[in-house]
Copies of this chain bind each other. A is one copy, B any other.
């Protein structure tokens, strides 16, 4: 069924293809091969799905939904704003596939398809929706998989903690894009020590989890955040024994333990290649001043 010889497993197109006029309801669609820029002939959707699934890594999740129900992530092959989504899906034990943005053309295709509500990634295809905006995605997953508290007051606490953690992680996210990262790094360290870590250290005096005695979105973000911090500042948790214990407990959760093994869907720290790809895809020419 493959039209183009270049259309192999490792360059299947990203994004939903345009439906073919006159084939409304048909499961066969046409694609563009990004290697040779040729349109394919009609392609069987199931074949494409299988190919895509073969491309993306798998983690051995317990989710047994049909291929067509699978969660699909569209983002760079790097952490960025998608990494927390990967963490949350992992903890919820939801299987997902990933399409990596590697060229501006792929991004433009997503735009032209109307897949990106506000022209931005992350994009997560899930339950028939094209979810964008990181926090909207996280909240949907958290609510669906009972990681968002038992009532609105617990949810408010989870939200407060989560927003703080995302603020801190977003500062770290911007580091590789800054021309002079040293002052930013110092600022992150002092903010972490003065503003954020003491809050969580105190909250975890006694309780196993941050809110309501039950695992939530906030816990997932906290373990992700502490690990990110330790990558930059290896001894940063030494004055926060509760946080270190919490981290120790969390990384023993089987799904997290697997996620932390080499070869999982967890992404490494951003390197020059990642930065270059992001800048090219978004057509950014100068270092960000943020």
* B-binding residues in A (CB < 8 A): 117-119, 127, 129, 131-133, 135-136, 139-140, 143-144, 152-153, 155-157, 159-160, 162-164, 167, 194-196, 199, 289-290
Contact = CB atoms under 8 A, between A and B. Distances in A.
A37 to B, nearest CB: 26
Contacts of A157: 129
Contacts of A152: 140, 143-144
B118 A196 contact: yes
Contacts of A140: 152, 155-156, 159
B155 A139 contact: yes
Nearest to A119: B195
Contacts of A290: 289-290
Contacts of A136: 156, 159-160, 162-163
A16 B144 CA distance: 36
Given A127-B153, A144-B152, A289-B289, A133 B118 contact: no
Contacts of A159: 133, 135-136, 139-140
Contact of A139 (B118, B119, B156): B156
Contacts of A129: 153, 156-157
Nearest to A139: B159
A156 B159 CA distance: 15
Contacts of A162: 136
A256 to B, nearest CB: 24
A82 B225 CA distance: 27
A178 B139 CA distance: 32
Contacts of A195: 118-119
A289 B119 CA distance: 24
A140 B153 CA distance: 8
A131 B119 contact: no
A290 B116 CA distance: 25
Nearest to A161: B117
Contact of A135 (B119, B135, B143, B196): B135
